[in-house]
Amino acid sequence: MKYRHSFHAGNFADVHKHVTLLALLSALQRKDKGLLYFETHAGRGLYDLGGADSQASAEARAGIGMLRATHSDTAELAALLAASERACGSGAQLYAGSPLLAAQLLRPQDRGLCCEILPPECRALERTLRDYPRMRCLCADGLTALSAYLPPVERRALVLIDPPYEDPALDLQRGLDAISAILARLANAVIALWYPIKDARDLAPWLLRVAAQASAPTLKAQLWVHPTDSRVALNGSGLLLVNPPYEFDTRMQAWLPELAAALGGAAAAGGASVQAGSSLDWILHGH
C-alpha cells in the first residue's frame, strides 16, 4: 500500500518538521542572494483535516491542533501558525504541507522545485501551487532527480528530504547517500533530512553511520511525545540538519523544548502516560 500523507497530515512530526523548515528558510533569507528550495517527497501540499483519512487517524488534533491552541509568542512557533493561516484561512479543517509553506516565503530571487512520485498527488500539488510561479512541480523521484538540479545557478540551496519510510532501512540509507551526493555537488548546501523515531535502539546503528560519514556540520534535532522505546507506532520525530545557518542551534535551543511541551501536553490531555521531550546535539560541530 502506498504511503498517504493525508493520514498523518498535521501530526506532531509535521509540526516539528515545518517549524524547522520555515526557520531555516527565514535564516537563509537574511542574505539577499537568491536560493533554490528543493523538496524530494512533496505530497499534495494541502490537506483536508476533515477528510476521511485525517478523521480516521485524528493525529492532527495532537499536532497542529494543539499548537494552534497554545498561541505561542515564540517567533518560530508563531511563524508556522501565521503561515498556516495565510495558506488555509482561519479554519481548522485545512493544513498546509511543506511545499505550500515554503512557496509563500520564496522571494523574487528564489526558486523552488518540489518532486512527488505519485501521479495523483503530483497533479494535486500542481493545483495547490498554481498561484506560486516561483515554485515548480516535478512528477519524479526527488532523490533520483537531485543530480540534474545541483549545483543551482544561485550557488545556494535548501534541500528537504522527507521519504515515506515504507521500507525504513532502505529510505534511511538512501537519505544518507543523498546527503553525500548533494554535498559533492554543492558543499554549502543546507540539508534537512526527516526521519521517524519508533524505537531509538533500531536507529542507533544508522546514527553511528551518520557520524562516521559526516563531512559537514551536522545537527541532530529530536522531539518525542512517547518514550522512544515504547510500542507506539511513532514515538518521535528526528531531523538531521546539515550546514545549518549561523547560530541556528542557539535559536532552536529556545523553541524546541517549548514545542515538545506543547505537543506532549496534547497527548497527556488524552489520558496517556506521556514522557515528552526534545534533544539537540551536534554530530559534527560547526561554526
Cis peptide preceding 151, ω within 30 of 0: yes
Query: 58: alpha, beta or left, given left = phi > 0 and alpha = psi -120 to 50?
Result: left
Q: Is 162 a catalytic residue?
A: yes
Q: Which helix (H) or strand (E) holds 126?
A: helix 119-128
Q: Distance from first CA to last CA of the chain, Å, rounded?
A: 43
Catalytic: which of 162, 199, 229, 281? 162
Task: Give the integer Cα–Cα distance in Å for 137 and 153.
Answer: 18
Residue type present at position 159: V
Composition of the chain by helix, strand, coil, percent to 5: 45, 20, 35
Closest CA to 96 of 21, 46, 22: 46
- CB-count burial class (<10 Å; 0-12, 13-18, 19+) for 62: buried
Close Cβ partners of 121 (under 8 Å, ≥ 6 residues apart)? 42, 43, 44
Task: Give the integer Cα–Cα distance in Å for 232 and 143.
Answer: 29
Cell matching residue 134: 516561483
Task: Give the integer Cα–Cα distance in Å for 101 and 94.
Answer: 13
Cell matching residue 189: 548546501
Cell matching residue 233: 507506532
Phi, psi of 195 (to 5 degrees): -145, 150
Q: Which residues are catalytic?
A: 162
